[in-house]
Amino acid sequence: MKRLTNRLSFLSLCGAVWLVVGAAAAQDPVEFFRQNCTSCHTIGGGRLTGPDLKNVTQQKDRAWLENFIQNPRAVIDSGDPYALKLFEEARRVLMPTLPGMNPELAKKLIDLIEAESKLEESQFKGLQITDRPFTPREIEIGREIFLGSRKLANGGPACFSCHTMKGLGGLGGGRLGPDLTRVYERLKGRQGLGAWLMAPATQTMRPLFGKHPLQPDEILPLIAFLEDAAHKGGEDTSVAILNFFFLGLGGAILALVCFDAAWRWRLRGVRQPLTEGEIPRGA
């Protein structure tokens, strides 16, 4: 009995340690910034969707910043002129309210931004992507990554499983995410795309790529491919959906035909066939 109690207390201790460590990891502002902020912001790397955060503490007081980080929408809705200006600059893309955000974390994040701003080169400067034209080879590799025929190094899922692109695959891709044909334009070119791919921040993509991030040598070909696609232009049409519908319909009919063949000796009614051709009543 005592042994069992010992074992149980040991197990609960382990659990407690794990919980504390886990909570600390979740609260680590560096990791949090990397996962949640870098898709729109840099520190000293120039503007992406959101503004460059270098020396942001010198432009606005800490209380305002803490408030804004915790609930951007409320601040914008309150009619704060500076917030409205930022909103317009970001071309009316609203900064999301981040899950797990609290006053303490907001303070830590501003501390982090302040500290990083003082450095000559911040670790959050963002991915510096070359301006040279991409080679056909890079575009081809990007295409393979997009389609999943080239596996991602960290085991993330292929883009195609959730996204579509014009002219790719007979049945189009997955329909969970938006069409990516013109995403290059939507995210303002290479820098924005690169930042996004470093740490996708949407509710659906973050859980998938948080643990399986893309590598820089995967991001570059992907950008190349997406840029190429945007230059070709167009949007994915609904033809693929229609194809999918007809494939489903055809498949269902085929399955029913197979069932009919497999169970062709089933009882199909005895009395009715006998009485067919009988003179109807009253005739």
Question: Which is closer to another protein, CB of 58 or CB of 275?
Answer: 275
48 vs 193: CA distance, rounded Å: 9
Question: Which is closer to another protein, CB of 120 or CB of 278?
Answer: 278
Residue with tokens 């820098």: 191
DSSP-assigned states of every residue in 8-71: HHHHHHHHHHHHHHHHHHHH-HHHHHHHHTTTT--SSS--SSSPP-TTHHHHS-HHHHHHHHH-
63 vs 68: CA distance, rounded Å: 9
> CB of 251: closest distance to another protein in angstroms?
19
> CB of 96: closest distance to another protein in angstroms?
47
Binding to another protein (CB under 8 A) within 98-127 occurs at none
Question: Which is closer to another protein, CB of 24 or CB of 262?
Answer: 262
Cα torsion at 136, 138, 139, 144 (round to 10°)?
Answer: 130
> CB of 281: closest distance to another protein in angstroms?
8
> CB of 255: closest distance to another protein in angstroms?
14
> CB of 154: closest distance to another protein in angstroms?
42
Binding to another protein (CB under 8 A) within 240-279 occurs at 263, 265-267, 269-272, 274-275, 278
Question: Which is closer to another protein, CB of 245 or CB of 263?
Answer: 263
Binding to another protein (CB under 8 A) within 39-68 occurs at none
Question: Which is closer to another protein, CB of 88 or CB of 278?
Answer: 278
**82 lies in the site for another protein, by CB under 8 A:** no
Question: Which is closer to another protein, CB of 133 or CB of 273?
Answer: 273
Q: Residues 2, 118, 231, 281: which binds another protein (CB under 8 A)?
A: 281
Helical spans, DSSP H, in the chain: 2-27, 29-36, 56-59, 62-70, 72-77, 81-89, 103-118, 136-147, 183-186, 189-198, 205-210, 216-232, 239-262, 271-275
CA angle 95, 99, 101 (to 5 degrees): 85
Which residues lie near another protein (CB under 8 A)? 263, 265-267, 269-272, 274-275, 278, 281
